[in-house]
Amino acid sequence: MPALVMTGMVCGSAALLLSSGIAKAAAGRQLSQALVELLPALGPAARPLVRGLAVAETMTALSLLVPATRQIGAVCLAVLGVLFAAVGLAGRLRGSALPCGCFGTADSRPFGPRNVVAGLVLLACAATMFLGGPGNTATGFAGLCELTAALVCAATLAVHRHLVWDAIRPQTAPSARPDGVVA
């Protein structure tokens, strides 16, 4: 596998997991509710489970960036990929309706095919990283961190583009009524 492709997989996977983990840590209520809809037995344990998942995603992302821990990170990434695919499949089979907020997005999609595909892609990346060895990237640790940070920023801007658009779009002044009251 060319080093540049491996670099893209490492940084892309790390960026996705960092964005997702941070979003779960900051606002995991949507995912907690979707998990309880899917598995009612979770009940109050859903929120701590989501927080644990946030930590696991963040730690996996960081371990992918360090060549010495990349293969352990690849194993963790594979486990997360299988988990995401399984939850997506279960959501599809059970007719999940609540939005999951997966991968740091605030969209209105429930668990389903998108989760299955994402999980399988992460699983494929994990297998490639594991088989490729720890040091098969086109850049060193600092470069991997910089590229991952850039990808996290790009992903965040893409996910929250409506907020960005609202911030940069020219605002129209409120119109005043003939009696001077602003409408």
Burial class of 51 by CB neighbour count within 10 A (0 to 12, 13 to 18, 19+) = middle
Q: Are 153 and 164 in contact (CB under 8 A)?
A: no
CB 31 within 8 A of CB 101: yes
13 vs 16, 63, 116, 149, 163, CA distance in Å? 5, 11, 16, 12, 25
Residue 177 lies in a domain: no
Reading the block at residue 182, the tokens are 């602003």
Asked, for residue 182, whether it belongs to a domain, the answer is: no
At 175 the pLDDT is 58
Contact 155, 22 (CB under 8 A): no
The C-alpha angle with vertex 81 and arms to 79 and 85, in degrees rounded to 5, equals 120
Tell me whether residue 179 is in a domain: no
Is residue 176 assigned to a domain? no
Q: Which domain holds residue 149?
A: 3-168
Supply the pTM of this predicted model: 0.79
Cβ(38)–Cβ(94) below 8 Å: yes
In a domain, 180, yes or no: no
The string of pLDDT tens digits covering residues 27-48 is 888 899 999 999 999 999 999 9
**In the chain, which residue ranges form alpha helices assigned H by DSSP?**
3-26, 29-38, 46-65, 70-94, 113-132, 141-159, 161-168
> Is residue 21 helix, strand or coil?
helix
In this prediction, the residues of the chain whose per-residue pLDDT falls under 70 are 1, 103-108, 133-139, 141, 159-164, 167, 171-183
157 lies in some domain: yes
Alpha-carbon span 55 to 80, nearest angstrom: 12
Query: Considering the domain boundaries, does residue 174 fall inside one?
Result: no
- Which strand (E) or helix (H) includes residue 68? none
Q: What is the pLDDT of residue 34?
A: 92
Q: State the total domains in the chain.
A: 1
How much is the pLDDT for 179? 63
Q: Flag whether 62 is in a domain.
A: yes
Report the C-alpha gap between 131 and 125 in whole angstroms.
Answer: 10
